[in-house]
Structure 1
């Protein structure tokens, strides 16, 4: 139960529907989950305060993990830079007509093929061999 609310929240994780009893799911969750929910004859092993404490601890752990950079993230930065550099070099070579680019429409045969950029437009291997 929060300070602003007169009712407790539904016991199902993620549901914020108000309920009169903190250990009973709301009507919406009962309708959604139907026969998957069933009552046990034993007393509950936790209370709303226990759940709130657990959730606060989990949220704090996630915040701490998100704040710490990992070695993988640092390695990813280097590999990301390298990947982008290679992509830019490849794109520049394609624009200069030094490298082929897949799925371009040849200006001569009008087929989609791997082509080189020529002053007239994209030109496929087959048309270059014919010329």
Structure 2
């Protein structure tokens, strides 16, 4: 008599086996800290280069990547926390290129450039 599992097989040990891809914003799992996932290798190809200075302690590599990502997250949080009153000429315009997603959308002028509502909601989340 066979039985089927309906429970999730995720365990705490899986988080210890893999780290995230070294490229910012990519959360694909890789086995070696500081390595790039196959999806990013395919997407960026020859634009990626190896850095031989980081062939050593995996814990140090993880710490450096975490410090780099913490700085980026701090900038996003600071931008999201800046809830100053909108400028008087902050009316959205159609057909502008958003500075974050680089898509043509209805955008609002911001200090950094045109920003769509979708990206603003993502940063605030």
Q: TM-score, normalised by structure 1?
A: 0.44
Higher helix share: 1
Greater RCO, CA 8 A, separation 6+: 2
Which of structures 1 and 2 has the bigger CA Rg? 1
